[in-house]
Amino acid sequence: MKKSPLAGDYFDEMDHRKREAIHAVLAELAAAGVVEVTWPRFQEGRQVEKVYLNFDAIPRAYELAGLVPRAERIYRLRQVLAPGDKYAARLQHLVEDPAYAPLAPLLQAMLEHRKWVEQESMGPGATPPVLPL
């Protein structure tokens, strides 16, 4: 625990509530099967020795954190980019999905470009919407 980014808060002698909060969260994660906590001999419940991540529970960890795993985000993008009649609807769904908020401007531009192409407005001198890269 001494090498952890939380070490400063964990070993703060002036505010024991930080350590108690960390122990409470670790207990919840251990109960969910996401981590395993080891304690030094005769210090159980007082000082954490190590925290081990259960690799089989990584999907549960993402769920508890409210995050979408990278593989799932890539899968969703592939579904959107797959050719088909539902392309615009899938793209609009991603634009509205909070998990894709950082990509929203690009996805919105892709949607506008798609609409421009579908309207067959490619006449002489017509230029498509610019995609932000």
Of 30, 22, 24, 26, give the one whose Cα is nearest residue 54: 30
**Are 48 and 84 part of one and the same domain?**
no
Domain of 102 in residue numbering reads as: 70-118
**Are 57 and 74 part of one and the same domain?**
no
**Are 57 and 77 part of one and the same domain?**
no
Position 127 in a domain: no
Residue ranges, the chain, pLDDT below 70:
1, 78-87, 114-133
Q: How many domains does the chain have?
A: 2
**Are 75 and 114 part of one and the same domain?**
yes
Position 130 in a domain: no
DSSP symbols for 59-88: HHHHHHHT---HHHHHHHHHHHHS-STTHH
| pLDDT score at 90 | 76
45 contact partners, CB below 8 Å, separation of at least 6: 23, 39
| pLDDT score at 16 | 80
Position 39 in a domain: yes
| pLDDT score at 83 | 57
| pLDDT score at 97 | 84
